Structure 1
Amino acid sequence: MNTEYVVRLDGDFGSERIGVKAARLAALAGEGIRVPEGFALTAAAYREFVRETRLDPLIAQWIRRFRAGCDLVVAAAEIRSAFRDAPMPPAIAEEILTAYGELGGDGTDVAVRCSPVDGADGVQDEVFLHLRTGADVVAACRRCFASLFGTVAVGNREAMGLDHLEAVMPVTVQTMVRADLGASGTARGESTFVRIRATWGLGEPPAGDADLYSVHPGGRPLIVRHRGAKLTKVVYADPRGTRTVPTTYDERMALVLTDDELQQIAAWSVAADQHFRRPMALEWAKDGVTGSLFVVEVRPWAVPTVTIAARGRSAAVPWHG
């Protein structure tokens, strides 16, 4: 469903409407790259929530108190508390529940994430995992709205002279990828190669511990493999957190990705660079239940620069993405 308040992640909607992270994923989905199925709650939904619940005067009041000497932590906490206590307007809640129903409804695991329009104000990237009911999804969306008034975010907007009442917070809802039972990693183009890191479980793999692959995509692909130690992995922990556990001997000895999977990720990396017309870093995940690969985040990255020190010496700035 694509409405004023909810849009599916399958096209080019623009970051002003659904936030930077969601807009990038939606654009890649429109290019045929596999991203977790889901939807975005738009900036218009946030504005309607604030209008319907009459939060504007309360926000303005606490900002005035802060400027008059009230502790920033206290002022920001009071605003967040008001957001969390306010009911979701029925029209927005209905659209959230309808979109969640299209993903499978109650019993379907989803993740709810903030999708800031501009990360410059330091909004905390709230993530709520393993939500399995429509009520929990609606509540998590409301908590994402509230995160717009984290202490750091409020302080940064004040320092930059930005209007707190003009700030918005879109939200992304996507089906869970069971990378805890599979694998995850990063990919980015580097000259004619795509460099891929991979590890078992969740999250971005640490340098030096993960498998490292260099893939030259094309009709006759060239793949260079380096097996990492992979001593630990991150898995989901009840009820909604994560924990680090040791890997098994077989996991440490095995390579995480097959050649076909490496070529798929490399092709996605090239397609992302071409779509955004600049080098991009991908975060990917492999579902351990279905075996499917997904791109779960895409962001720009700076190409390593070479500086000339003296008498022909040069040094490359390493990538830490």
Structure 2
Amino acid sequence: MRLIRWLTDGGDPAEVGGKAAALGALIRAGLPVPPGFCLTAAAYRQWVEMGRPEGLPPEVGAQLGTAVEELLGSEPAAGFAPVLAVRSSATAEDAPTASFAGQLLTRLGVPPDQVAAAVLAIWRSAEGAGVRAYRSRLGPAEVGVAVLIQPLVPAEASGVIFTADPISGDPDRLVVNAVWGLGEGVVGGLVTPDHWVVDKASGRILEAQVADKELMVVLDPSGGTRKVPAPPDRRGRPAFGPETLGELWRLARLVEQVRGAPQDIEFAAAGEKIYLLQARPITVRPAEGWVSEFDSETDPDTVWTAANIQEVLPGLVTPLTWSAMQENLN
């Protein structure tokens, strides 16, 4: 059975997951996406049917090892870091009604000989209590976990673009958030990012806020990533100048055109090139056209407030705490 699908080949989201399917569409449209392949959901099902063993099924391990070797030896992979980004691409992930954002593991800076262990860690993360609770609320009967593998972009700066304003829902405003280093700094909420609002039609910058970016996420020479203090001369300097913002505006419009809906796009800049790392639909309420980054349904009378809750729950809420408190909070 063929368990590897290259991004250039395309693939059904039911086989390669939403993340890989979207990036495949972008790379085939000629947009700058790092090369890569997907270990399909069929490999995950084999592992589950074998009783979730400690190691990969033999057929899976053999095909994965061959694909990693081929990827790193390919011409398109030249110029990237000699380590890999290993990310989930679940069949219910990055869908129009639910992003699954942050629910499954990502492993960055993975040496080639540790890819199998990273795949197993991602598969096991799909079995956790938090993911099960998320899935039960959204209702998908079965979630297959494909895994996307690409060379890691040695990013000097990274960020996120929304092709519609994620707060107001205004489809004419494009929002860019960016930090120094790898994208974990912004998507993980580790660093307050620079923030720009751009007119989608003209590319004119409407708002610009440069943050004091104290930290940045970089590759750890021993594998993985680590947080380090940002160099003093970078902390208060914008991560991107007007020329790069213009290129981001151009690419974001093209991504939205290819995908046919407002998008939440992750990107990284290395050298003088921008790479697209992810594109998923911004969650939309179709009846009202209201754009929200919350996966749960809300109504026009809902008021969001951080009053008191920051003191009561200052950190991440565990599944156990949430299961005990959600009835009272609702």
TM-score (norm 1): 0.71
Query: In structure 2, what residue type is equivalent to 1:186?
Result: V
**2:36 aligned partner:** 38
Task: Tell me if 1:139 matches 2:117.
Answer: yes
Q: Is the 8 A contact 2:33 2:275 kept in 1?
A: yes
Query: In structure 1, what residue type is equivalent to 2:35?
Result: E
Gaps of 5+ in 1: 56-81, 307-313
Task: Tell me if 1:245 matches 2:231.
Answer: no
Aligned length: 271
**2:247 aligned partner:** 264
Match of 1:101 among 61, 64, 69: 69
Separation (CA, whole Å) in 2 of partners of 1:208 and 1:158: 32
Match of 1:187 among 161, 168, 186: 161
Q: Is the 8 A contact 1:17 1:43 kept in 2?
A: yes
Separation (CA, whole Å) in 2 of partners of 1:88 and 1:139: 12
Match of 1:170 among 146, 155, 160: 146
Query: In structure 1, what residue type is equivalent to 2:88?
Result: C
**CA 1:258–1:118: 2 relative to 1, 3 Å:** same
Task: Tell me if 1:88 matches 2:57.
Answer: yes
Separation (CA, whole Å) in 1 of partners of 2:210 and 2:68: 40
**CA 1:96–1:217: 2 relative to 1, 3 Å:** same
1:143-169 CA-to-partner distances (Å, cap 9, x unmatched) read 323333222334555677876xx5421
Query: In structure 2, what residue type is equivalent to 1:29?
Result: I
* Deviation for aligned residue 1:121: 11
* Deviation for aligned residue 1:211: 2.4
Q: Is the 8 A contact 1:204 1:283 kept in 2?
A: no
The 3-state SS of whatever aligns with 2:266 is strand
Q: Is the 8 A contact 1:187 1:282 kept in 2?
A: yes
Match of 1:125 among 96, 101, 104: 104
Gaps of 5+ in 2: 74-80, 165-170, 292-299, 305-330
Separation (CA, whole Å) in 1 of partners of 2:195 and 2:132: 40
Separation (CA, whole Å) in 2 of partners of 1:155 and 1:209: 29
The 3-state SS of whatever aligns with 1:10 is helix
1:162-202 CA-to-partner distances (Å, cap 9, x unmatched) read 76xx54211111111122xx111111224444322222122
1:17-56 CA-to-partner distances (Å, cap 9, x unmatched) read 11111211211112222122211001222233444xx32x
Query: In structure 2, what residue type is equivalent to 1:275?
Result: V
Match of 2:278 among 290, 297, 300: 297
**CA 1:121–1:155: 2 relative to 1, 3 Å:** farther
Separation (CA, whole Å) in 1 of partners of 2:193 and 2:136: 41
**1:68 aligned partner:** none
* Deviation for aligned residue 1:96: 1.3
| Higher Cα radius of gyration | 1
* Deviation for aligned residue 1:240: 3.9
**CA 1:161–1:235: 2 relative to 1, 3 Å:** closer
Q: Is the 8 A contact 2:191 2:215 kept in 1?
A: no
**CA 1:36–1:208: 2 relative to 1, 3 Å:** closer
Separation (CA, whole Å) in 1 of partners of 2:279 and 2:138: 26
**2:6 aligned partner:** 8
Separation (CA, whole Å) in 1 of partners of 2:132 and 2:232: 48
Separation (CA, whole Å) in 2 of partners of 1:112 and 1:261: 27
CA RMSD of aligned residues (A): 3.6
Separation (CA, whole Å) in 1 of partners of 2:194 and 2:118: 35
The 3-state SS of whatever aligns with 2:175 is strand
Q: Is the 8 A contact 1:10 1:26 kept in 2?
A: yes
* Deviation for aligned residue 1:238: 5.4
* Deviation for aligned residue 1:142: 2.7
Separation (CA, whole Å) in 2 of partners of 1:6 and 1:278: 28
* Deviation for aligned residue 1:294: 1.1
The 3-state SS of whatever aligns with 2:248 is helix
**1:280 aligned partner:** 263
Q: Is the 8 A contact 1:6 1:41 kept in 2?
A: yes
Identity score, percent:
28
Q: Is the 8 A contact 1:18 1:117 kept in 2?
A: yes
Q: Is the 8 A contact 2:111 2:223 kept in 1?
A: no
1:109-161 CA-to-partner distances (Å, cap 9, x unmatched) read 0021121111469694112222222x411232233233332223345556778
